[in-house]
Amino acid sequence: MEGAIIGCIVYFGCAILIYCIGIYARRCKKPMWFWSGTEVDPATITDVKQYNNENARMWKLYSLWYVAAGIAAIWNSIVAVMFLVLGCTVGMVILVATYNKIHEKYRVK
């Protein structure tokens, strides 16, 4: 039972951190970046506010993988780990593809 509680705390903690990235993205005045060490030049984005809103939504939805893992940890740690692995693999691929789609949509052409 202690393992389930620790798992819940860790998974929900990760979910909260990722969700906070979404909150930050929505409040950010400059275009939200995705790749570490890079910044998006505001002159290259057509609508910074909408661009950031879509980035925020993307991060908040991504946090749901970790919420699902936290909920699953209450009943079955194997299922929780499956959600975690899916979130870290498939979810990350979806995250990158979604960001690229958002960036392309709002990029000045």
Express each pLDDT in 27-45 by its tens digit.
999 999 998 888 999 999 9
Number of Cβ within a 10 Å radius of residue 47: 12
Supply the range of the domain harboring residue 15. 2-106
pLDDT tops 80 at residue 3: no
Confirm if 34 and 25 have CB atoms less than 8 A apart.
no
Give CA–CA dist 34/102, Å, rounded. 11
At residue 36, the pLDDT reads: 83
pTM greater than 0.85: yes
At residue 35, the pLDDT reads: 86
User: How confident is the model over 77-102, as pLDDT tens digits?
Assistant: 899 999 999 999 999 999 999 999 99
Which tokens sit at 4?
């389930």
* Domain count within the chain: 1
